[in-house]
Chain A
Amino acid sequence: MDINKLVYDRPDLGKFKVHRSSLVSQDIHDLELRRIFDRCWLYLGHESEIPNAGDYARRVVAERPLFFARDRGGELRVFHNTCPHRGALICRTDRGNARVFQCFYHAWSFNTSGELVGMPDIDGYGPDFDRAEIALRSPRYDSYRGFIFVCFDDETVPLPEYLAGAAEYLDLICDQSVDGMQVIPGSNRYSIKANWKLLGENSMDGYHAIPTHRTYFDYMSGQGAEMLGNRKGFGRALGNGHGVMENDAIYGRPIAMWHPCFGEEARPEIQRIKDDLIDRFGRTKALRMSEKSRNLLIFPNLIINDVMAVTIRVYQPAGPASMDVTAWEMAPAGESGNLLRRRLDSFLAFLGPGGFATPDDIEALESCQQGFRSGGVEWSDLSRGLTRSPRGNDELQMRSFWRRWQSLVADLPYVEQYEHGLTPGEIPEVAPSPEEASYAGD
């Protein structure tokens, strides 16, 4: 298969297809690591995970062990997790607090800024040994409103430019609380035996919600939970392969749309949050923040869904047919009591490996991966909505991912391509369409 022709993109014919070799081939997977994961900004973690000086957390990003820390001066630091001496992992616990990071192998010690501050028998290295040259190494890193990204390519554009239209969508989450948003303790760690790109598609696919998640909707109906809104929605390309599906929320939102399943006593509290948003941002933006759900993909492997709760989901490729997923939940800093309990409950009903929906997404993705092995079908279809104004349950946001993916993996020049002339700067006007089953899913 020609690496330049893995995406069949013919809006003029109403056809958009992806060649299935891009989801099964080891060669293409290896190219992805070099041409996508070694070039793009990749999500590492959130600053709220390391609030205090000396706090640290470790991660594996695109097969590379890394860790991040807050140094004594309060600055964010990101390090390659390898001793500059002989290679051993420096950080060997998932999270904690340290004054120094000491390599257990030869006991070289580094402070929280990465400087070498101690080693046994330094005299053995001669009079010209310069400790300053031996600091822990850092990849490029930057943080956008607390979301920390790393990049292994010096040529890549700076993070704000890379985020393009996706930055506004991060703002819509961060601005939900004047105290900022934080990742709450506990993470979902699981693997899916499917190609990593399938989870990006699935996470902003409104079309699958009803057939795949019927048991969730049945459960909610059983609780007397009526769906809200007329379920208007749209998909948008946000530049650089990022995309979003934005829909009227179907049930309640902790910020800030009351729903009977939250209970009558929650009503004034949620109204107060909404009023505060209106005060701060005006009615139009406040209602968008509070009454719409957003499923956001930041290219290549980060999903932030602001739905029945806010979840961050990052997925690392582990070969062409497997991925490792980590997901977190976000809440306003300092949120507590009933507000936090409702948010947690809202999350668990749908999301996570023990929720009433996520296990079925995992099943769907693994089922696709198994189906690919059958052969007989070369292309997967992603043309839904190509010939109409993009609705929330169409596939524009997936096509924008795949266009960027094709250009990177084949090393082709990239030209932003916005269907229907919709650039990241404009919100599409979508007429209410009651007949449209455009549900916000995960």
Chain B
Amino acid sequence: MASELTPPFPLPPVGQPATVESMLLQHEVEQLLYQEARILDDWNLDAWLTLYTTDARYVVPTTDLPDANPDTDLVFIDDDYQRMTGRVGRLKSRHAHREYPWSRTRRLISNVMVTEVDGDEIGATASVAVWRFRAGESAPYVGRYDVRMRRVDGQLKLCYKRAMLDQEALSDHGALSIIF
């Protein structure tokens, strides 16, 4: 599993001829990422958890150390599935004051590339901008996702997501109070 923690994911060779299989996989991966984006924009948080395997890990490194290893370095978020569930529970509470009332968000996902198919696991990378509007503030979180996915009972699920911010600091939002 250690390789999962070491970005960046290797990019596929340039100019590979597409196959029907690779196009189907590309479509499937895109749809999963788009679905996650829409579910989060809708604050459908319980549904978000169903997109992940129960051994999933969700990591957001700090802005100054995007290559951080969460086992040895300080990161913003290093959730296992149980902590992800706790995060959802918290965000659904009206006592999560930074997100009560919830902000409006719009996630734009692009540049999706399947980077590797390694046995059961599929790696992909994508560019992301999450616009967040609340209390007079409007600014995006911009960055990149590195994800790994696996089929569970035929359904493609995320088992790892590393969301890396391009910002130098959380100057606009102060916190990372949403799921990025």
Residues of A within 8 A of B (CB): 94, 184-193, 212, 214-216, 218-219, 222-223, 324, 328-329, 336, 340-341, 344-345, 347-349, 352-354, 356, 358-360, 362-364, 366-367
Contacts and interface: CB of A to CB of B under 8 A. Distances in A.
A21 to B, nearest CB: 23
19 contacts: A184-B72, A185-B73, A186-B74, A188-B76, A190-B169, A190-B170, A190-B173, A191-B174, A214-B95, A215-B89, A215-B90, A222-B86, A223-B82, A223-B86, A348-B76, A354-B175, A360-B97, A360-B98, A362-B175
Given A222-B89, A324-B169, A362 B98 contact: yes
Q: Looking at chain B, what size class is its interface with the partner chain?
A: 35 or more
A186 B89 contact: no
Task: State the 8 A-B residue pairs at the shortest beta-carbon distance, nearest first.
Answer: A186-B74, A189-B169, A354-B76, A359-B175, A190-B170, A359-B98, A354-B77, A353-B175
Contact of B74 (A212, A329, A341): A329
Given A187-B64, A215-B95, A340-B71, A193 B76 contact: no
Contacts of A212: 97
Given A185-B73, A354-B77, A356-B86, A215 B96 contact: yes
B160 to A, nearest CB: 17
Contacts of B95: 214-215, 218, 360
Interface in B88-110: 89-90, 93, 95-99
| Interface of chain B: mostly helix, strand, loop or mixed | loop
B123 interface: no
B74 A347 contact: yes
B23 interface: no
A366 B173 CA distance: 11
Given A190-B170, A191-B169, A344-B74, A358 B175 contact: yes
Contact of A353 (B61, B90, B135, B176): B176
B176 A359 contact: yes
B127 interface: no
B62 A189 contact: yes
A187 B78 contact: no
Nearest to A190: B170
A360 B170 contact: no
Contacts of A336: 72
Contact of A344 (B65, B71, B86): B71
A340 B78 contact: no
B118 interface: no
B46 to A, nearest CB: 16
Given A360-B96, A360-B97, A352 B169 contact: no
B68 interface: yes
